[in-house]
Structure 1
Amino acid sequence: MTPLASTGASADPTPSRSATLAAAQEKVVYHVNDATRARMALRNVQNHITADPDAKIVVVTHGAGIDFLLNGAKDDKGQAYEAQVAGLKERGVGFRVCRNTLRGRNLGDDAVIIDAEVVPSGVAEIGRLQAREGFVYLKP
């Protein structure tokens, strides 16, 4: 019988940590708290999901970052954000809006486009996604 070491085979059938990580779904939370960065953030998300269609991406907004997810919001070129957000949602991207920010502006949940979900706190949602669900953090 030939020893395993001489054949290059491993006696341990358990996948290596690096193989497991390589096979794991990429999970990324994009943090947007500045309205002037919304277009860039959406472009980054579009590029990301195109490069890795299986990635799980969530965009979490609070403060001025919620502006592009409000009904009727348009970019500096007059283009509505809603269609781009809807297209990304169809590809599995999630969008979350901070209820604390809405309340601070005297806005109700109905001020938010249909493709976004309102969460109690944007920063708490980012923390939850990172700590409990293993998301990595990106801030465009």
Structure 2
Amino acid sequence: MMNDTVFRPWRLLLQALLILGLLAGRPAAAQEQVKVVYHFVDGIDQASRGLANIRNHLRAEPGTRIVVVALGDGIRFLLNGTRERNGRPFDAAVTALASQGVEFRICGNTLSAHDVPLSQVLPEAKVVPSGVAEIARLQAREGFVYLRP
């Protein structure tokens, strides 16, 4: 009985300090910028869905840093003259999202494998040596979350 009386104030103090420590750590985590890499690899339909997802994402979380990495069939929307199934050109959507800070990266290996000249790539897209290596780097070294629409 005496031990409980003696240790109770210390136990309450330790619990209070633990709670304060947990709460003190929250604001720093809340201030970290969310970083997302969108992986486009499946062609026109995925690109249409993915760009719509990104617009919705930015409406919900305007400060999010978004990088789109396109490889394989996913590069087509970043080429001059490519249109969505409804006839709308992709270049306007890419330009609009780029003006909001979205970064577009296109796989150099895919461009080479399909003999696509750099002159066909939209100016908003940055060529990276390897799309899969870029995705891995963003996740492992820069803390990006991976999404594939």
TM-score, normalised with respect to structure 2: 0.83
Structure 1 segment 1-140 matched on structure 2, within 5 A: 5=13, 15-16=24-25, 18-35=26-43, 36-140=45-149
For 1:40, give the aligned amino acid: R
Equivalents in 2 of 1:68, 1:139: separation in Å?
15
RMSD: 2.2
Equivalents in 2 of 1:126, 1:80: separation in Å?
26
Q: Which runs of 4+ in 1 moved over 2 A?
A: 8-12, 18-21
**Structure 1: unaligned runs, 5 residues or longer:** none
Q: Percent identity?
A: 47
Note the C-alpha offset of 1:15: 3.7
1:27-72 residue CA offsets vs partner (Å, 9 max, x unmatched): 0000010112110000000000111111000010000000000011
TM-score, normalised with respect to structure 1: 0.88
Aligned residues: 136
**Structure 2: unaligned runs, 5 residues or longer:** 1-12
Note the C-alpha offset of 1:110: 1.8
Equivalents in 2 of 1:79, 1:34: separation in Å?
18
Q: Give the structure with the larger helix fraction.
A: 2
